[in-house]
Amino acid sequence: MNKTCSYGILGIGSCLPEKILTNFDWEKMVDTTDEWITKRTGISERRVLEKNEPGHEIGVKAAKRALEDAGLNAEDLDLIIVATETPDYLTPSMSCLIQNGIGAKKAAAFDLNAACSGFIYSMTVAGQFIKTGMYKHILVVGCESLTKAMDWNDRNTCVLFGDGAGAAVLGPVEEGYGVLNTCIGAVGEMGHNITLPCCYVNEAEAAKRQGEDKRVFWMDGSEVFKFAVKIMEYGTNKALEEIGLKLDDVKLIVPHQANIRILEGAAKRLGVTSDKVFSNIQKYGNISSASIPVGLNDAYRGGKINKGDNLVLVGFGGGLTWGSAVIKWSK
């Protein structure tokens, strides 16, 4: 392969659990209302895995749909990268579970955790393998089961999140199309604002959690909100400026779906109308690393993007991390 080859999305797919949890369902479980949730977050419902349903199974389904859309078989894959902060196991990795589930016996596999920025991080990593000619076809999956990590008594966080998976097959595309640029970054000094303990919980983290289970998700919503609005503007502009493009050149921005007020705030700072910022948060809530690929799939299937359109993907998440990408749609 040409060591400077262009790479892009050859196929895309998603899978959401069948179970739907509405705001009215939440009214029966915690001290909240549909009006409060909708006004503050824009979320009406979210998809939830059953207690005995593993997350990697929806990842397998999303992967198969992306492969079908790309017109490729699992045997064509050289590498699988799964972005997740909620793996079914620490080992085997979600990527190995999905590799087995789709029968991609030739593919190497590893997981990547950049929280909600994980899909863009994974695209960036995959691009290096493709551009150097080491690999030709790479499957990137954002797969999350955050509802399994929630404190269902914490009304500030439990109503925000859902489960889901989105997948994309990356590979060579015609010159001038595909992923034009990606930017990734991290602000580790702010990492304490979103935490999900695993093998270690210190006293400070334990004190944040009111229930007996100290290994649940916790977030300082106000601090994350301020970071998110600023970084979405910064990440979008940076990715465009580095390749000489402007917002006027962009057909659609597909951001991480965390909160409708964040999306509105970012749109205002960028000076764009709301119809230029894709949103499906009302249907799924925050599904972390799966948010952007699911959103991209919905936009593609809904006829909102066509071949030759310039898109911006932008996200932020725990770590704290952020990432942005500019894509000239090649399908």
Rounded to 5°, angle at Cα 151 from 147 and 154 = 115
Residue from 59, 58, 103, 52 nearest 77 by CA: 103
> Omega before 112 cis (within 30°)?
no
Q: Which of 116, 143, 158, 183 is catalytic?
A: 116
Residue ranges in 242-329 assigned as alpha helix (H): 260-270, 281-284, 291-301
**Do 69 and 111 touch, CB atoms closer than 8 A?**
no
Identity of residue 142: G
Catalytic residue among 23, 237, 259, 286: 286
* 229 vs 263: CA distance, rounded Å: 7
Which residue type sits at 212?
A: E
CA distance linking residue 196 with residue 282, whole number of Å: 24
The answer to whether residue 137 is catalytic is no
| 256 belongs to the catalytic site | yes
Contact yes or no for 253/278 (Cβ under 8 A) = yes
Paired with 139 in beta bridges are: 80, 169
- Picking from 103, 104, 107, the residue whose alpha carbon sits closest to that of residue 129 is 107
The CA distance from 297 to 290, in Å, is 11
In sequence order, the β-bridge partners of residue 141 are: 82, 167
Whole-angstrom distance, CA of residue 24 vs CA of residue 46: 12
Given 23, 256, 297, 310, the catalytic residue: 256
DSSP string computed for 83-131: E-SS-S-SSS-HHHHHHHHHT-TT-EEEEE--GGGHHHHHHHHHHHHHH
| 96 is annotated as an active-site residue | no
Return the active site residues: 116, 256, 286
